Amino acid sequence: MTLRTIESLGSLRGKRVIVRCDLNVPLDDGRITDDGRVRASLPTLSALLAEGARVVVVSHLGRPDGEPNPKYSLAPVAARLGELIGRPVAFATDTVGASATDAVAALADGEIVVLENLRFNAGETSKVDSERGAFAAQLAELGDALVSDGFGVVHRKQASVYDLAQILPSAAGLLIAAELDVLDRLTANPEAPYTVVLGGSKVSDKLGVIGHLLPRVNSLLIGGGMLFTFLAAQGHKVGSSLLEADQLDTVRGYLAEAERLGVKIVLPTDVVVASKFGADAEIAVTAADSIEETPFGVSGLGLDIGPDTAQAFAAIIRESKTVFWNGPMGVFELAPFAEGTRAVAAALTEVDGLSVVGGGDSAAAVRILGFNDDQFGHISTGGGASLEFLEGKRLPGLEVLGWA
């Protein structure tokens, strides 16, 4: 089976088309701090509006635990969408209540409305099939077709992602199609040299990806908090740095498997160690095998890869033809620990081939550090979904659209 595309739905002029976007943007006192996901939704929404569809946008934002919470309202997102799309965007103050019903009924051809946060309804994320199904049935009354375009949630069996697609004629939007095209290039005959850069806080979050990609890559670069579990697995002391002791044997197994396969697992040779977690901490750069020999001793915290490592990682990345990066190299939100992540991001912009930023914190980092989206081959909108795809897992939100 192949993924159903918008074309499979036939003419959508005058039809009410529910579009499941992922507009889960970061907010600070109601102000959007990164509108990347809103921008990513524009191609599909613009195409549907140009065709004369009556577009009903649904999305989640944050974790309001199944109850209305103004902190997680999509109202600021609707306003930003209107600015970006260049036309009025109506907003309904509920999802399946009177406001949504009236707003959808008022749409003319080529008009658009955003409904309030799906997760204000407990049925959206319920683990009980009947509860999800009941909410999906209510949503279905507002549309004639579903275009699923929220790649960041396709790994979740949720009402608007999975159940609704079984009630209404459904297809994937342009964003999901683009994401899958890139991920397919990362897993099916990627151009060599192929380098994967993994960071973030926990090695346990990346174990499946490591295991699935090891036979496919040439180099695996390890940074972020997870590097300390790798160092500990080699017998090094890591002070008070983040350590998942229960993963040491698993990591040793991957190190041995990489050696057997001829894959280079490249670990930091130096790290930035801090006296505490904070922008005002005292810092020292030390060899990766000497973390406890800094002035901070066993209380030292490793919070970034060191400059030598950053330079080495960048050189490997620039020489690669395919690069996938997921997870920052350090606590990039704090200036003293952002340079490792900055170096990796800068190197990705120089790749003569496919460079992919794997969503989540990595996508946020490149924007916070001043890079533009068009400097990279692709910035994924779904960190968790991307990782699960690269682990070889089945994704319910794609399977229900015909992907197999």
Neighbour count for residue 293 (Cβ, 10 Å): 15
Q: What H or E segment, with its residue span, contains residue 83?
A: helix 75-85
Catalytic residue among 15, 37, 54, 216: 37
Catalytic residue among 14, 66, 384, 402: 384
Catalytic residue among 202, 264, 318, 321: 202
Q: Of 227, 208, 193, nearest to 327 (Cα)? A: 227
Q: Of 155, 239, 125, 169, nearest to 16 (Cα)? A: 169
The alpha carbons of the chain give a radius of gyration, in whole angstroms, of 23
Catalytic residue among 200, 360, 382, 383: 360
Q: Which residues are annotated as a binding site for substrate?
A: 22-24, 37, 60-63, 119, 156
- Cα 361 to Cα 34, 36, 228, 274, 328: the distances in Å are 12, 12, 19, 21, 7
- 393 part of the active site: no
Q: Which residues, at least 6 apart from 297, have a Cβ–Cβ distance to it below 8 Å? A: 239
Q: Which residues are annotated as a binding site for ATP?
A: 206, 302, 333, 359-362
Q: Which residues are annotated as a binding site?
A: 22-24, 37, 60-63, 119, 156, 206, 302, 333, 359-362
Q: Which residues, at least 6 apart from 304, have a Cβ–Cβ distance to it below 8 Å? A: 271, 272, 329, 330, 331, 336, 337, 338, 339, 340, 341
Handedness of CA 316, 317, 318, 319 (dihedral sign): positive
Pull the structure tokens for residue 128: 């009980």
- 360 part of the active site: yes
- 297 part of the active site: no
- Quote the Cα angle for 206-126-207, to 5°: 10
Q: Of 142, 10, 39, nearest to 367 (Cα)? A: 39
- 66 part of the active site: no
Residues carrying an active site annotation: 37, 202, 360, 384
